Each structure stands twice: as structure tokens, then as C-alpha cells.
Amino acid sequence: MHRARSSTAFLFDLDGTLIDSVYQHVLAWKEALDAEGVELSVWRIHRKIGMSGGLFTNILLRETGLEITEERLARLHQRHVEAFNRQHTQGLVRPLPGARELLAYLTEQGYPWAIATSGRMATAAHNIAALGVDPSKVPVITRDQVRHAKPDPDLFLAAAEKLGVDIEQSLVIGDSIWDMLAAQRARALGVGLLSGGYSEDELARSGALRVYDDPADLLKHIDEVAARL
């Protein structure tokens, strides 16, 4: 049965929001930084995850006082991709509880939805496949397609545009403070998930309207944030 479209659109972050991959990304960055001789504590990497990879590596290198060269950045990104995809091959990265069910529910009910990730297609492709999402049917905006990634609003603005929805009628679902900041900067509403390992307080203080455990918990409480059909 086809229902009338709701006025609420859902713009999803990917890592930590639909896929249980944040901690693997964190240790993949740790491995890449170690190989470059950049000594950085793991929790500091975790707190930067989810922002633009370029911004992330620039900030890290600036904080550690190392010179930022094109070659060093390219090596860091390459090593991160390799380390992350190695974990993926081992089957250690999977969708979060309720992720597939939530997306299926939205599709069935006629809510427009899209995915907008600070990652590049090189790491996102595995994750999108694991979710059973067909990128020819669902808008997937990656870092390759916009000038600035999160916390800039570009990714979510591009996702709303591709869906043909008003960003001000959209919810941004994310696990990191960078998603919540980007949501506010785009004039969308942010909904936080704890599944990336940030705390409720960190998400609320960066603008989350509501915070849920994970996609399963959001699905259970969907009427709190989405327009009724």
C-alpha cells in the first residue's frame, strides 16, 4: 500500500549510526598515525571521528606539531582505508541493532530518507552493502561529492536536495557531535544515537533534540520525532 509522503525526511550518518564501525575506525586511524610516527591517545582520535577526514587529519597533525604535507596526508588516508577494510574482511563490522528494520520501516511508510557520510566511498561501500542498501535507489552522499564535510552542513544539504525535500523539515540522525553541529548549521533537527560511543550529555550539548541508544531504540520511539502520517 502506498501512503502519502510525510513532511519529515530522515538524513542518516553512516558509521556509528547505522553501522557498528566507530571503534574499528578509531583503531584503524591509530594504526595509520602510529605508522607515521604520530603519537596520539586513542580517546582523542575517538573524539574527532565523524568529522571531515581532511579536517580531522589537519587538526591531529596541528595538535601534534608535525608538518602537514600532501604526501603525509595521502599516506595516512591510504593506511586508514587499508586497516579499516582489513577489519571488514574479518567480518568484525556489522549493522547496528535495528538499522535494517528502521530503514525498511521508513521505506514502507513512505518517509524519504538518505545517507550522508563524512567517509569516502572507499570505506563506505562495504558498509552500504552490509545494510542491504542499493545506492541506485537511495541517495548516498559521501565526502567525495561535497566541498566540505561535517561539521560543515554541506553533506546534509546535498542529501536533502537529492531527495527533493526541505532541509528545515528534515531530521539528521547521527552519533557524533559533528553530526549535531552540522544539523544545526543546516537548520535541520538533530537526533543523537549513543551507538558511536559519545555520551548523552555530549550529544545534547551539541544540539540533539533527543538521544536514543541505537537505531532499534529510535524505531521504538519514532513518533517522538517524526511527523505522523
Task: Enumerate binding residues for a second copy (CB under 8 A).
Answer: 16, 20, 22-24, 26-27, 30-31, 34, 39, 41-43, 46, 91-92, 96-97, 194-202, 214
Sequence-ordered alpha helix ranges (H) in 36-140: 42-48, 53-64, 70-89, 99-109, 121-130
105: which 3 cell numbers?
520501516
Nearer to a second copy, 29 or 156 (CB): 29
Which of the following is catalytic: 13, 20, 179, 214? 13
Distance in Å, CB of 151 to a second copy, minimum: 18
Distance in Å, CB of 30 to a second copy, minimum: 7
209: which 3 cell numbers?
533534540
229 secondary structure, DSSP code: -
13 labelled catalytic = yes
Select from 178, 155, 205, 175 the least CA-distant residue to 59: 178
Nearer to a second copy, 30 or 79 (CB): 30
Nearer to a second copy, 201 or 223 (CB): 201
Distance in Å, CB of 154 to a second copy, minimum: 27
Distance in Å, CB of 195 to a second copy, minimum: 5
Q: How many CB atoms lie within 10 A of CB 69?
A: 10
Q: How far apart are CA 149 and CA 42, in angstroms?
A: 22
Nearer to a second copy, 54 or 97 (CB): 97
Which of the following is catalytic: 15, 20, 152, 179? 15
Q: How far apart are CA 156 and CA 227, in angstroms?
A: 19
Cβ within 8 Å of residue 24, ≥6 positions away: 84, 87, 88, 92, 93
User: Which positions are annotated as active-site residues?
Assistant: 13, 15
